[in-house]
Amino acid sequence: MEINIIDIAKNAKNAFLKTMDLKSEIKNQALENIAKKLTLREEKIFEANEKDLNNAEKLLSEGKINKAVFDRLKFDKTKMKSLIQGLYDLIKLDDPVNKILFERELDEDLILKKISTPIGVIGVIFEARPDCLIQIASLIIKSGNCAILKGGFEAMNTNKAFFEVLNEALNEIDGFPKNVINLVFSREDIQKILDLDEYISLIIPRGSNKLVKFIKENTKIPVLGHASGICHIFIDESADLDHTKEIVIDAKTQYPSACNAVETILIHKNYPHIDELKKALIETGIKIIEKPSSYSVEYGDKILSLKIVNSLDGAIEHINKYGSGHTDSILSNNNKNIEKFMNLVDSSSVFSNCSTRFSDGFRYGFGAEVGISTNKTHARGPVGLCGLTIYKYKLYGKNQTVKPYATGEKKFSHKDISV
């Protein structure tokens, strides 16, 4: 039976009218049941993932997907354990909805409140990593939103298995609305989703630069995300060799295809250990390119661009010119230089003396992430629970009208109330 995207969107929007006031207890029960069902159905999920991996090997050999996509596809017991733990960690977090962000007395018995509220129906289009489906769905549930999800074709079997488990878990929770999490499959569905600005409030793309650009150019719906992960590490002249080696190697090799893996290292010309550092990196299997054709390449592999810069200012200028606004780090023992770097680098996450791989919603304690945003809108960096809420103003009065204030008979007090 053909899936009608418009019906899915309508049903999701109707479901949102129920989820935005859903009790925390029901949302947490849903998350706990998902975790339990994942444990019960893990072998079925692994079997589905094995099918996807077998299909992907052929696609890789034919050049239809790259190695970075293939590496993200595997889902094993370690990832399952992490996924389930993430659900329990999410349960422990405060409900982000209906929080008072500020409270102000406009006049006696006229109280204004700024309240956090869910965004609505969110379209999430993601590639490769199948565990994204559960991570995203769990954040959507906890934040009181609804979602239409579109996973990558290369992970179709795993996504279907996850979705079946998800539906089984949610259907068992009394009071949990139907049609909160929806899944579509074909590439044609992407364009249909992008046309549904009447029902969908936000699009979050997780995937290649090509995918994100296509989405931004083909929808009226606001888009939250990042096009690429061109992450940098600047090695200041005061950085020590041992820690520098450890951090750069971690940032490049721990998960080379991740969007927060380092792609370019910038080294101060007076750094005394340049040759030793290069030797150590090469010994770990990292390929160093000292004169790349472009500094705007996301390698997604054990490849690093390397550039010698004359100063801290030169490093900052390079990052702000060639970076993608994702994550950049400085390695230094000079506090003045650290603060200058962190203040002037215009990225959503800026680090000192640590790996760029820390840029992640789970590691930030956000209860995983629905994506990373380089936008300068309501959410920036790893987008967790709070990034999936917006706010509304609630004004509590006692039969007041504007006329007395317009004529000067009454005056506003505008007194802030501590929250």
Q: Kindly report the CATH number assigned to the domain that includes residue 320.
A: 3.40.309.10
The pLDDT value given to residue 29: 98
Contact partners, residue 375, CB within 8 Å, separation at least 6: 224, 225
Q: How far apart are CA 201 and CA 91, in angstroms?
A: 25
The pLDDT value given to residue 253: 96
Q: What are phi and psi of 110, to 5 degrees?
A: -135, 95
163 with 217, same domain: the answer is yes
CATH of the domain at 46: 3.40.605.10
Digit-coded pLDDT (tens) for 319-345: 999 999 999 999 999 999 999 999 999
Q: Which domain holds residue 132?
A: 5-225+375-392
Nearest to 214 by CA among 184, 183, 192, 191: 191
157 with 133, same domain: the answer is yes
The pLDDT value given to residue 419: 65
Of 246 and 206, more confident = 246
Instruction: Judge whether 399 lies within some domain.
Output: no
Digit-coded pLDDT (tens) for 37-80: 999 999 999 999 999 999 999 988 988 888 878 888 999 999 99
Q: How far apart are CA 351 and CA 380, in angstroms?
A: 15
Number of domains present in the structure of the chain: 2
Instruction: Judge whether 61 lies within some domain.
Output: yes
Q: Note the helical H segments in 20-76.
A: 24-40, 42-61, 67-73
118, pLDDT greater than 70: yes
219, pLDDT greater than 90: yes
Average pLDDT over all residues of the chain: 93
Q: What is the pTM of this model?
A: 0.85
Instruction: Judge whether 168 lies within some domain.
Output: yes
